[in-house]
Structure 1
């Protein structure tokens, strides 16, 4: 019930339900991940970290629990050291493809594009969880992101075109899937198809309004903000981000401060003020 309650934007009730579930079974990953994720979505990162600390005290000192705790530290503070250490200790960990994108991100932050390409190519997977637990990005999406970040427009276009084909195939199966439509819009923005990207992103928002589902609705709105960012619509991107940081969601300090997707906004005092507003107090 907490899962549905959360999507309906009833956060105290969701937190109560998940806390009760964890109390009944402290080693149930469904319960403790949903509780910690509820704190993460509200940007209450210390409480997410404490949740995983209690899980480890109960005997669940597994690499994935350590990864999720270190992720909460990173997202709230932009301190990547604990998360890098966890990844280094478990080089083969890739639960649901959730660790490869983080390794790629750290390589991009370090400006080590060869390492980003190596990490991605080394994974046998063809799709990966990135922001949340429910959507899988095609491998070609990350290939495009790496190429775009290093300034290789030819390879970026080839990779994003491949990603586009995969996302279009998904939409044949599920034509009204808002998240897929939102990511397709980001791909089209990367391909320079501005008007098409804006239409697709706005359609995704219509399919998944925050009034119906705050969880997916905000993720779709973040997709629209990224389309604005990649389409040279800086004012609209910043205006939307100013609203998004006041809503529960996965936009956080580390993501805005370090992720290359937001590079076009860097240096704008309004964007830097948004980043600073998320810094740990």
Structure 2
């Protein structure tokens, strides 16, 4: 019973921290009833690896994931899920793609019809910058397991990263059809329409369909805040935050974002510097503690640099942005590496380093992977509409980038 409930929760395509933690507890209860339940150990390892990858890249989750994968393999050496879990640990925690692929290949031989294995093999190709091969691999997996929303989600995300907006929109529709309760399907579909057409109406329409009270990890709050900020509707942005009882929301990868920081950004966008700084002072310990907890997390250094840039701490902002790029260079991770450079471009723009920002933005506009549902995303419509880029908006080089790339 515990195992089946956990397995159902873990497969939610929305990759929610609260889901992963609920699944973790259920797997642990299943193991408590039967310490030799190898499959539960394997899935617990996968869940811990997912928490590390998406939300909390700390040593605690790393150790637990590896430990559970090793227990599963010791109990049942030919268990495909155990090899799959070990591959996830090696892939996400060590970024050793070749060793991870070895484990995925073993798992695939033991369980040829398991689409999740093929999905992560395709994901590694994406991180290696083999975008077309990755897309083809995802399409093959989708044919084997066409109703798996996790595979559809990755196809959707890959086409988005490749800036193939019409195709991405079609896969978004498909994801909404097979996973109508998925929040990611709604949110990502709305953002694709914005990136493609510069129009936020679909995103707001899809958000209006989310049942009242549904806000896991604060993802709906952060999205409502973000779309209001894109529209420069600061009243709506403030209302979105005031309606949320959480202190932190899910907005970026690697750690939760303090709501006080988002409140400060509203004040800053309205030109209220003193009020913004009060909110930033409340948020600062969260960002700094996150880096202390996971000093090798590129995402957390990027988030700290992002915070410092808006708080007006130029040197610290650039230092943290550069550190994020060093930890995840595009040469090693074509997907997240591009995102780290997006953060750095926005940091440069916010602290007045136009000469450094413009070349990075120009390159990223043509770079696959430099797209995300957050304010550091680099698309023409992000640059055109988001207030965060206002400090360099009047720079003729910035205007030229928007005009030339919009043609």
Rounded to whole Å, the distance in 1 between the matches of 2:348 and 2:203 is 30
Is 1:253 the counterpart of 2:380? The answer is yes
Question: Equivalences for 1:128-139 in 2 at 5 Å?
Answer: 128-130=249-251, 136-139=256-259
Structure 2 CA distance for partners of 1:278 and 1:2, relative to 1, 3 Å: farther
Aligned pair partner of 1:118 in 211, 229, 239: 239
Rounded to whole Å, the distance in 2 between the matches of 1:275 and 1:99 is 30
Is 1:34 the counterpart of 2:161? The answer is no
Is 1:271 the counterpart of 2:398? The answer is yes
Is 1:176 the counterpart of 2:296? The answer is yes
Question: How far does residue 256 in structure 1 lie from its aligned partner after superposition?
Answer: 1.4
| Structure 1, gaps ≥5 residues long | none
Question: How far does residue 91 in structure 1 lie from its aligned partner after superposition?
Answer: 5.7
Aligned pair partner of 1:104 in 214, 225, 238: 225
Structure scoring higher RCO (CA < 8 A, sep ≥ 6) equals 1
Contact residue 249 and residue 256 of structure 2 kept, 8 A: yes
Q: Which residue matches 1:197?
A: 317
Is 1:186 the counterpart of 2:306? The answer is yes
Contact residue 298 and residue 325 of structure 2 kept, 8 A: yes
Question: How far does residue 180 in structure 1 lie from its aligned partner after superposition?
Answer: 1.0
Q: Which residue matches 1:5?
A: 125
SS of equivalent residue, structure 1 residue 246: coil
Is 1:156 the counterpart of 2:276? The answer is yes
SS of equivalent residue, structure 2 residue 335: helix
Rounded to whole Å, the distance in 1 between the matches of 2:228 and 2:353 is 28
Report the TM-score, using the length of structure 1 for normalisation: 0.90
Aligned pairs, how many? 278
Q: Which residue matches 1:146?
A: 266
Rounded to whole Å, the distance in 2 between the matches of 1:148 and 1:231 is 14
Question: How far does residue 192 in structure 1 lie from its aligned partner after superposition?
Answer: 2.0
Q: Which has the larger radius of gyration?
A: 2
SS of equivalent residue, structure 2 residue 123: helix
Task: Tell me the C-alpha RMSD between the 2 structures.
Answer: 2.2
Rounded to whole Å, the distance in 2 between the matches of 1:95 and 1:48 is 25
Report the TM-score, using the length of structure 2 for normalisation: 0.63
Contact residue 362 and residue 401 of structure 2 kept, 8 A: yes
Structure 2 CA distance for partners of 1:66 and 1:106, relative to 1, 3 Å: closer
Contact residue 365 and residue 380 of structure 2 kept, 8 A: no
Question: How far does residue 35 in structure 1 lie from its aligned partner after superposition?
Answer: 0.6
Contact residue 26 and residue 55 of structure 1 kept, 8 A: no
Structure 2 CA distance for partners of 1:68 and 1:203, relative to 1, 3 Å: closer
Contact residue 252 and residue 278 of structure 1 kept, 8 A: no
Rounded to whole Å, the distance in 1 between the matches of 2:168 and 2:231 is 27
Q: Which residue matches 2:203?
A: 83
Structure 2 CA distance for partners of 1:10 and 1:110, relative to 1, 3 Å: closer
Contact residue 144 and residue 156 of structure 1 kept, 8 A: yes
Question: How far does residue 210 in structure 1 lie from its aligned partner after superposition?
Answer: 0.9
Contact residue 179 and residue 219 of structure 1 kept, 8 A: no
Q: Which residue matches 2:99?
A: none
